[in-house]
Amino acid sequence: MNISLSFQPIQPLYTIATLMINVDGFLLETLLVGKEKANTQGQLDALKFYLKTVLQINERGVSMILKKRKRK
């Protein structure tokens, strides 16, 4: 099965990559204060929402990739 995932970034890729480097901050916070206090799940959900939005990811492609991974 050949799956292609397309996206149309609405910010420069450098900007997106730089933000991803800073994800260490909330992961470190999780280690220091725990998942509940750091609201790790909420932060991860917000990050996923941001990436889907800023990259304008083709949702159909994402769904197909996730289904393929579950079968393995």
pLDDT tens, residue order, the chain (72 aa): 555 667 789 999 999 999 888 888 888 999 999 999 999 999 989 988 998 899 887 666 566 666 666 665
Half-sphere exposure of 3 (CA within 13 A, CB side): 14
CA distances from 50 to 10, 13, 39 (A): 11, 13, 17
| DSSP E strand boundaries for the chain | none
pLDDT for res 64: 63
pLDDT for res 33: 97
* pTM listed for this prediction: 0.67
